[in-house]
Chains A and B, each alone.
Chain A
Amino acid sequence: MSDSGGMPADQENPEPEAPSGEPDWFRRVTGIGSSLGQSLMVPALALVTALVIGAVIIAVTDVDAWRAWTDESPGEALSMMWASITDGYKALFRGSLGSRNAISETLFAATPLIIAGLAVAVGFRAGLFNIGVNGQMHMGGLVAIYLGFTLSLPAVIHVPVVLLGAVIGGAIWGGIPGLLRAKTGAHEVITTIMLNFVALFFVDYVLTTSFYQEQGRLDPISKPVDASARLPRIFGGDFRVHLGFLIALALVAFVYWLLFKSSIGFEFRAVGFNPDAARYAGMSVVAVFVAVMAVSGALGGIAGANQIIGLEPFRGTTNFAAIIGFDAIALALLGRSHPVGVLWAGLLFGGLRAGGRAMQGEAGIPIDLVLVVQALIIVLIAAPDLVRALYRLKPEEAAATQLTKGWDA
């Protein structure tokens, strides 16, 4: 939140047709212009609200409790529901923070989330909505697999080479929608969604070619990457947290520098704030669109490589990026598109994921609840008025989150 306050929203042109209608959402998403307390209030309340709704979902889906209810003992049913909730959330807490191993699991799960969240955040800052992190992870990961099992190098060189390859793979795949947007006006939301699926099927295809495929297998699964290409564990072999977490921290610092301390980052933000003004100031909006999407894609590529060289079984499988690319959108929103915010949000979601696994294992509550909680967080962050209405808070100013202005931008 290092920026200056910016101008009040009511001085902006309120016409929806106005080409410079983006500052409104920009202020909202980034929290620029509001105090630290205000910018923490809505995320905190959103998290609490989402967890409360999650508790209600746990309760009403308790089949055993409903059986007790129909057996004419509502009191017992209610206490069973309460037990479900407390067991679940206790396991969630234990699994995320309750032990040294739990903390390691949280950091382990947070690693790709932070990197992917940074990818989306960089796009948001420049007014571009990269829904394609999933595809960029797949393409970056694919390059990582290739370099991981074909080269034989010492680990000190092998890991950086693999990551560099993933950066290039992700940057190209992310750059395509940037180029299409800049040259043809094709909206990046559509092109990135479509490229996600293209990448998904491409990975399935590549992993069944004889060069990539593990011998003796018929399903899409690659050979494992060499031991020298794997990210070493940083707190000993018992804990899964690996070098990738430190890389994620370094990337947080790098993105902070890029966005706020470098001149190219200034151009990113200027284009995001007002593309027309940036153009009049002599910036090349075309170059910035491509550069932003390439940087965003490169970060996605690293997140993809993390899923290959950072965890068992160190191979590519079908849809190995899973839904991290979509979690990343929630992360960027929750972290207000600020690198440090994304870091905290990534740790939070990593905790939810690690805790969710414990919740599933110990309390029998499916980990999919974490997705529901995440979706609710997205909605509540994106609709701050909803949170304020729920908690009867004083409305700040009527500001809405609008990122996109239609397909034809």
Chain B
Amino acid sequence: MTAVTATADTKVKRRATAEERRARIAGVVLILLAAFVLWAFGLNVDGDLDATFRLALPTDRFTDINWVVNSQLLGFIVAAILAFLGGRQLRTANFKWTNVSIAVAMGLFALAFLGWAAAGESFSLVGMLRSTVLLSVPVTLGALCGLMGERVAIINIGIEGQLLTSAFVAVILGSAFNIWVALLGAVLTGGILGWVLAVLAIRYRVDQIIAGVAINIFALGLTSFMASRVLADSQSLNAPGRISPYAIPFLSDIPLLGPMFFDHSLFVYGMFGLVLLVHLGLFYTRWGLRSRAVGEHPKAADTMGINVFRTRYINVILGGFIAGFGGAFLTLSQVARFEENLTAGVGFIALAALIFGRWRPFGVLAAGLVFGFARALQTKLGILGIPVPSEFLLMIPYIVTIIVVAGLVGHARPPAADGQPYIKQ
């Protein structure tokens, strides 16, 4: 440890150059991307074809809003912007702009891709963006749950299990009582599993990864067991009903943004509300300051009179409530019935979103939307008959996460004490 402090100065300097190097790598990547867009979505496209993006749903107040654009032209423009961004990164190595440039480039690339995919056809952009928001809900809520834990240094691999179990409980309670009892039960279930994780990790100092893996296996086993033993015979217990959407007056009439954001069930509004709430709580309240202290340096926090264990318990359980809310979304919003392993890896995409979003609520939301977009694109491409195997789109969240944790683009820094048990002296 002493060697580290002695070379602290040089280390700061080296970090700066490493970031500059990353900025340059990003520049090269952007230029390569520009070349690819120029070739694949520009030169390769028939110049006469227009892409028609539909910006309104048939049920909207203002229908027939379309954006017609020449596919080739769109490709050229995007390629030019990408080349400009890349060139600037390469020349100035300004690492403050690295992430912004990459984010903008990703969005533009997606647009050029859609322009190519929809060349000569009409494509419901609003429909896809709407399903992007819907698909991001369980991912974002799961990632927020993980964030609540990791900010106080408890790694939660069990998000998948929390989502699955609360989705199951929501189905049972929704069928037996009503959707509001179901929602409450699901939220509590998430919290209970959070509590279990906290007890194992804090009281029994079980390795947090193992505790999380056990929670996932337990959840998969128990819900599948109950589904075939109880639900298979009593189908009436597998029909919970749905929480209906509520269109916010006036706002939902705004073209494009209305159907995207303001015509949903309470889960979508809840997701945005929770992201804001966690952000404000984490960075502007005493609770947030204490939580972050516990996650970064528990010993110092303890010395300052913060109860490390209690803070960890509370945050992991609160996170569990959020995951429970996300689990309820899976069975009370659209599908409204339970099937074995219905989460199918959403909890792990949430884990990826947590890392991709760099342990920040709005970062997590952005990551959730990006991953939701990839998923929405995957379903839509099948309809357009595009020769890109959907499996590769499904891989995107996972590959992106590997790139991020490896520090190839940007660097993700988790809370300093993440994963370490705290032993009170």
Contacts and interface: CB of A to CB of B under 8 A. Distances in A.
Given A16-B423, A404-B419, A379 B391 contact: no
Contacts, number: 190
Interface string A189-231: 1110111011001101100100000000000000000000000
Contacts of B416: 406, 408
B204 A370 contact: no
B207 interface: yes
Interface string A220-259: 0000000000000000000000000000000000000000
A195 B403 CA distance: 11
Interface string B230-251: 1001100000000000000000
Contacts of B423: 14, 16
Given A187-B405, A368-B228, A371-B218, A403 B420 contact: no
Interface string B196-207: 000010001111
Given A17-B420, A406-B420, A408-B414, A57 B401 contact: no
Contact of B213 (A21, A185, A329): A329
B155 A404 contact: yes
A378 B158 CA distance: 14
A194 B397 CA distance: 8
A40 interface: no
A404 B405 contact: no
A184 B406 contact: yes
A378 B217 contact: yes
Nearest to B196: A379
A382 B212 CA distance: 12
B422 interface: yes
A232 to B, nearest CB: 33
Contacts of A378: 210, 213-214, 217
Q: Is the interface of A mostly helix, strand, loop or mixed?
A: helix
Given A366-B225, A382-B207, A190 B217 contact: no
Given A63-B233, A201-B392, A376-B218, A403 B209 contact: yes
Contacts of B220: 323, 368, 371
A390 to B, nearest CB: 12
Interface string A171-184: 00000000010001
A404 B157 CA distance: 12
Contact of A194 (B399, B407, B412, B425): B399
A386 to B, nearest CB: 6
Interface string A345-356: 000000000000
B421 A402 contact: yes
Contacts of A323: 217, 220
Contacts of B226: 61
Interface in B290-326: 298-299
Interface in A43-92: 57, 61, 63
B82 interface: no
A257 B208 CA distance: 31
Contacts of B392: 201, 205
Contact of B211 (A189, A190, A379, A408): A379
A131 interface: yes
B58 interface: no
Contact of B230 (A61, A187, A202, A333): A61
Contact of A372 (B200, B222, B348, B420): B222
B417 A406 contact: yes
Contacts of A376: 214, 218
Interface in A121-173: 129, 131
B395 A198 contact: yes
B185 to A, nearest CB: 17
B351 interface: yes
Contacts of B107: none
A168 B66 CA distance: 53
A3 B253 CA distance: 72
Contacts of A100: none
A371 B420 CA distance: 28
B367 to A, nearest CB: 14
Contact of A379 (B214, B345, B408): B214
A208 to B, nearest CB: 8
A369 B206 CA distance: 23
Interface in B323-356: 345, 348, 351-352, 355
Contacts of A204: 391
A329 B210 contact: yes
A267 interface: no
B278 interface: no
Contacts of A403: 207, 209-210
A197 B221 contact: no
Contacts of B257: none
A374 interface: yes
A201 B388 CA distance: 13
B214 A406 contact: no
Nearest to B389: A205
Most chain A CB within a 10 A radius of its CB, from B214, B228, B233, B402: B214
A382 B210 contact: yes
A87 to B, nearest CB: 13
Contacts of A16: 298-299, 417, 420-423
A407 B214 contact: no
Given A404-B419, A407-B155, A407-B405, A371 B207 contact: no
A17 B1 CA distance: 10
Interface string A375-395: 110110011011000000000
A382 B402 contact: no
Nearest to B228: A366
A365 interface: yes
B205 A402 contact: yes
Interface in A318-373: 323, 326, 329-330, 333, 365-366, 368-373
Contacts of B407: 184-186
A382 B228 contact: no
A401 B207 contact: yes
B229 interface: yes
A207 to B, nearest CB: 10
Contacts of A189: 157, 209
A14 B299 CA distance: 12
Contacts of B412: 407
Contacts of A205: 389, 391-392
Given A197-B398, A400-B206, A407-B418, 19 more contacts: A16-B298, A57-B222, A63-B234, A180-B402, A185-B407, A189-B209, A190-B402, A193-B157, A201-B391, A323-B220, A333-B210, A366-B225, A366-B228, A371-B222, A371-B225, A385-B204, A402-B207, A404-B208, A407-B414
Pairs of residues from A and B, 3 with the lowest C-beta to C-beta distance, nearest first: A371-B221, A400-B205, A375-B218
24 contacts: A14-B425, A61-B226, A180-B405, A180-B406, A186-B402, A190-B405, A191-B402, A191-B406, A194-B348, A195-B402, A201-B395, A205-B392, A368-B225, A371-B221, A371-B224, A372-B225, A376-B218, A378-B210, A379-B218, A400-B205, A400-B421, A402-B420, A408-B413, A408-B416
Interface of B: 1, 153, 155, 157, 200, 204-211, 213-218, 220-222, 224-226, 228-230, 233-234, 298-299, 345, 348, 351-352, 355, 389, 391-392, 394-395, 398-399, 401-402, 405-408, 412-414, 416-423, 425
